[in-house]
Every structure is written in structure tokens, then in C-alpha cells.
Amino acid sequence: MIARTRAPRHERTLPLTLVALLVIVGLALAALPDRADAAHPRWEGGVNLYRPGVFSTQKTWYWCTAADVQIMRNIAHQKTNHSKAQQGRFFGYMRAHNRYSIPVRHGVDPAGWSAGLRRYVDPRYRLVANRSFKKALRSAVRNLRRTNLPVGITVARGNHAWVLTGFEATADPATTSDFRVTSVRVTGPLWGLQSRSYGYDMRPNKRLTRKQLKRFFTPWHYPLIRMAWEGRWVSVQPIP
């Protein structure tokens, strides 16, 4: 610990020019927006990160998570890459980081997916397993809003994966816990390989009500092995 000593009398008074400079700097800093305001756009009832050019169709029937990583990378880094080679690289990396040994045709487990998103999109991505749909959805939109990054969600009991790119809510999840999600925007990479007006998968940037999303975003279940996320709503979220 540094001892505090009383300064000599001649050192106690700052020059007037220095005092004026400190006042100016203080006023300038006070005028800057706080970190929260600078981190994301002004709240206007909702968020939608989707933009033309970011969507990719999965190149094989079991590369849904790889295509999702490509879509999310395109969004986060202002890219428009849709190559099969890149999806293949993502898939190989995630398979190597799976928690469980599963057949190649079953793709990537949540641990592998979260590792891929940390490696190729943003290091803040983490696997989140919630006990209810409500908690999972609230957590997902809150972190999407706080980071301005998309969220990965498992659908069809973990047999498929989508990207949550936006939502609408009654209040800003970044500033209050008193909010209710009214709709979401989702993108599924099967569009173009298996395209339906309402099913797996819908047109990219599809708007779903909360009730409609609940039909797809369902608890995890893998029939061959009891995994750590059994019965949980699984997503991969950017944690600020």
C-alpha cells in the first residue's frame, strides 16, 4: 500500500490552464454515449439482423449446423460466403469437438456446434440449456439484443438447427426484465434443399409468433444416448 502524504503548500494549487483543460475533458466525456448505448442500435420495438446475401442452404442433409455457422458468420462479419468447402471445414471442426461420439449422419452435437461458433463467428458463444421454453426464449433474445449477434437454436427435439436472427418484444430486453416476446425471425438452412411454406424449412427470415415458434423449438432428445441436455431447450448464445 502506498502511504498518503500531505503535499507541500506550493504543490496544492493546479495552474488555471490545467484546471480549464480538465473541465473541458470532463464535459466531453459526459457527452459521450454509455457503452450500452454504443453497443447496439436504439430500441424501436424489435431487432432484425437478417440482410440479403447472408443465407446459405446446407450442402448435405446433415450439415445444418455448418450452414448455420456460415449464415451467422455472414451476419456477424458482413460476409456473403456460401461455399461447400467452407461448410465442410466447419463441419469437420465441430465433429472433432463433439462431446459425444455419434454417427456422421447425425451431424454435430450442441458442444461441437458451440465450439464452431466460438471458433468461426465470435468467442462469446456458449451452450445454454434451459428448463423451459419461456426461459430459453427470454435468454436468447436478451443476449441477441445485448451483443447484436444471432442465436442458434435446436429444433425438432435436436434433429435440426435454426438461426434466430430477430424478434419483437413489448420492451427492450437489454434494459429491463419486464418484457414479453411477441414474435421472432428465424432462418433454417434446409430452404432450397427441402422448401416448404410452413415446415422444415421455411423461407429465410420467416416471422413466427411466440406460439408458432414453440411448435418447433422443443426439448432436446437423442434416442441412442442419454445426453447432458436431455429434456432441455438447447441454444447457443453470445454471452456478453
pLDDT digits (tens, 9 = 90+) for 175-213: 999 999 999 999 999 999 987 777 789 999 999 999 999
pLDDT tens for 229-238 read 999 999 999 9
User: Residue 110 has what DSSP assignment?
Assistant: H
- Between 85 and 20, where is the model more confident? 85
pTM, two decimals, is 0.83
Task: Supply the pLDDT for residue 42.
Answer: 92
> Would you say 116 and 94 are in contact if contact means Cβ atoms under 8 Å apart?
yes
Task: Supply the pLDDT for residue 25.
Answer: 38
> Would you say 206 and 186 are in contact if contact means Cβ atoms under 8 Å apart?
yes
Indicate the length of the chain as a whole number. Answer: 240
31 has a pLDDT exceeding 60: no
- Between 224 and 1, where is the model more confident? 224
pLDDT tens for 74-121 read 999 999 999 999 999 999 999 999 999 999 999 999 999 999 999 999
Amino acid letter at 116?
G
> Would you say 205 and 190 are in contact if contact means Cβ atoms under 8 Å apart?
no
CA–CA dist 224, 172 (Å, integer) = 41
- DSSP SS3 for 1: coil
Task: Supply the pLDDT for residue 11.
Answer: 38
- Between 39 and 221, where is the model more confident? 221
Task: Supply the pLDDT for residue 199.
Answer: 76
| Mean pLDDT value of segment 127-138 | 98
